[in-house]
Chain A
Amino acid sequence: MPSWQDFQPFIVSGLALGGVYALSGVGIVVLYRATGVVYLAFGAVGAMGALIAWSLINHAHAPQWLAWIVCILFGALVTLAYGTVFGPALAKRPPLVKAVATLGLMLVLFGAMDLLWTTSGGASRALTLPTDNDTFMIGQVQVNYTQVIALALGIVIAAATGAFLRYTGLGTAMRAVANDREIAGTLGVPVRRVEAVAWFGCGVLAGAAGLLLADLVALDATTLTFLVISSLAAALIARLRSIAWTVVAALVVGLVHDLLTPIQSLTNYRDMTPFVLAALALLALSGRQVMSLSREEA
């Protein structure tokens, strides 16, 4: 068993990872609550944004801030475009079909990324943020500002989103649409516009998460695309409803994942953390199945 010393750095990195999972999880939950879509292309959009940013910096020699903005905007615009085209077309289908449709977008982006940024034989890419080099010490652990930003952004975004949904008119409209699209429309809520805002916001978070994960984990299309499953785990533990629980679950998933790293016998299995935690939580929380006549209540 490794000593407490060995675990300390992983607490920091785990919390940072958890922060990004929280950021992504909140994006997924908000979009699901507003539109009923579980956005499985979340990771792919962020990954492609990050790769575009990498190309801008390394090939077009663009300033870094511009590349970051392009990354976030790319996420937002692709997500908004998908939502505008396929959102209304699939609005009346069960949540399952809506979720599977986003897999289509994910495959398109995934194929495009593999095509444009070939991995085989090429040197591995890296996207580093300048905050990586600014460090300070907590006890004996070195912490860099990217990690601080990741954790802080996760929590701040979650709090801001919660407040937005609760206190603003648009937030109220979003909750109304989430409750019942038809009735909200009848009462004069501009359903399409509200949904567009949700798609756009989710896309911004996807771009930001892609940027941070590219720095914290790796700039690799496959890794980043399927990291969405980990954030999804946090959202699932919160049953796709509670933003607060999403944040808590995301931090726990990130912490457990990184704290398993120094334990020799488990380190190879640490990537299972989100799956196992989500599966256990879902099975424990599902309780007695209540049957209703609606074909899909999810």
Chain B
Amino acid sequence: MASLSGVAERARGGLRLRRPTGASVRHGIATVLALAVALAVLPQVLSLYYIDAMMQVAVYAIVALGLGVLVGRVGLYSLGQAAVLAIGAWVAARILFASSLPFPIVLLAAGAVTMVLGTLVGAPALRMRGLYLALITLMLAGAITVVLATTNFPNGGHGFLGYNGSLLHIPPIRRPAIATSDPAYFRYAVVVAALMFLLVLVHLRTRPGRAWAAIRQSEPAALAAGINVTLYKLWAFALASFITGVAGGVLAGAVHYLYSIDFQTQDSITLLAVVLMGGAYSAWGAIVAALLLELLPAILHNAGVSADWLTILFGVGVLGALTTAPAGIVDQFPKDMARLGRLLTRLARQLGRRRPALERGR
């Protein structure tokens, strides 16, 4: 019963009007600063190589955010998000080749189709919980990978699949007219990512967010409190699929050419690993996860270090996150820094106390 009253309290707490606290103001300032740096500074100072990497960061931040909502907010572990991203990219590429619709419409369409597919697949899977749900999403990701390996991504061919294996000149997937260059498209991707973050934050601040919090605490208690558990779980799946689908569309434009070999089952696993490392409970965690996943390999590649070290690091990171830092780097890093700070001040104070003693001894 304790958890039941906890849920009710949480729901009531959520209904109260939020007054801006110190923390939320700080977060707001940090967000504006981060956006300003990403939009104005980064495209100016970075080389094309790193702009490419940062485009991927923008894409994967959206994907990580979607997975973070599922894992951190609702407690649904999905091991198939990379496959969902592949579906989004496929749909977007198909529409972009088939029509001259404006890019934002294509992104929305890719998100919507992915959402419908994700929800159709998710609906029966949601009868399963916990471990079984995670394993079934792993199975589905495996199945989607196999299908994509056979159908391939659209490359300007005809028919429903839009793939023509004997094309000599493969046309690139187009970008929006206002953002054809790499720096411009990077800005475009950041704006799309910011909008997706906003969409998710609105959800978290309103009714669905409170329902998810209740479900994560205890499903039976949430049910008893009058929350439609299945509806809100599906809602979370739909939201995550939608933004991941949009991210797939952005990815299609970013890389120009899509190959099924680039979407492997292990990507879904690495994705979950970085989300757990970055922190599944906060939006900043999603950005950290994306930086780990896309920027770090680019830096290491530049330094001539094998990407395999990263895979190993991610493995260690998962184990570390699960055993010692369940809220990820975003949560653990400030704590560790604070602890380090306290340690240093204590050391300094001890030194300060000892020095007069030494001087007196002399």
Contacts and interface: CB of A to CB of B under 8 A. Distances in A.
Closest 10 CB pairs of A and B: A111-B311, A107-B315, A104-B318, A108-B315, A111-B312, A104-B319, A298-B131, A115-B308, A275-B143, A275-B139
Given A38-B135, A100-B318, A232-B135, A108 B312 contact: yes
Contact of B273 (A90, A104, A271): A104
Contact of B146 (A232, A271, A278): A271
Contacts of A282: 128, 132, 136
Nearest to B137: A279
B127 A289 contact: yes
A49 interface: no
A95 B322 CA distance: 12
Interface string B302-320: 0000101111111111110
B308 A112 contact: yes
Nearest to A113: B308
A20 B312 CA distance: 28
Contact of B77 (A96, A275, A289): A96
B7 interface: no
A29 B216 CA distance: 28
A106 B135 contact: no
A223 to B, nearest CB: 11
Instruction: Tell me the interface secondary structure of chain A in the complex.
Output: helix
Contacts of B265: 226, 229
B319 A291 contact: no
Given A106-B269, A226-B265, A293-B220, A111 B318 contact: no
A274 interface: yes
Contacts of A89: 323
B106 interface: no
A258 B316 CA distance: 37
B266 interface: yes
B138 interface: yes
Contacts of B310: 111
Contact of B319 (A86, A271, A297): A86
A128 interface: no
Given A100-B134, A111-B312, A298-B129, A269 B147 contact: yes
Interface residues of A, number: 51
22 contacts: A96-B77, A96-B131, A97-B322, A100-B134, A101-B319, A103-B315, A105-B315, A106-B315, A110-B311, A111-B308, A111-B311, A114-B306, A114-B311, A226-B266, A236-B139, A268-B149, A271-B142, A275-B143, A278-B139, A282-B136, A297-B129, A298-B130
A57 interface: no
Interface of B: 77, 124-125, 127-132, 134-136, 138-140, 142-143, 146-147, 149-150, 218-220, 223, 264-266, 269-270, 272-273, 276, 306, 308-319, 322-323
Contact of A236 (B135, B150, B270, B311): B135
Contact of A103 (B124, B219, B269): B269
Contacts of A218: none
A232 B139 CA distance: 9
Contacts of A86: 319, 323
A276 interface: yes
A276 B132 contact: no
A268 B143 CA distance: 12
Given A107-B312, A225-B266, 13 more contacts: A105-B319, A106-B315, A108-B315, A110-B315, A112-B308, A114-B308, A222-B266, A268-B150, A269-B146, A278-B136, A286-B132, A297-B130, A298-B131
Interface string A227-242: 0010011001000000
A285 B63 CA distance: 31
Contacts of A293: 218, 220
Interface in A1-19: none
Nearest to A236: B135
B135 A110 contact: no
Contacts of B131: 38, 94-96, 99, 296, 298
Contacts of B147: 269, 272
B311 A296 contact: no
A292 interface: yes
Interface in A238-276: 268-269, 271-272, 274-276
A295 B140 CA distance: 25
A269 B149 CA distance: 9
A60 interface: no
Contacts of B269: 103, 106-107
B139 A229 contact: yes
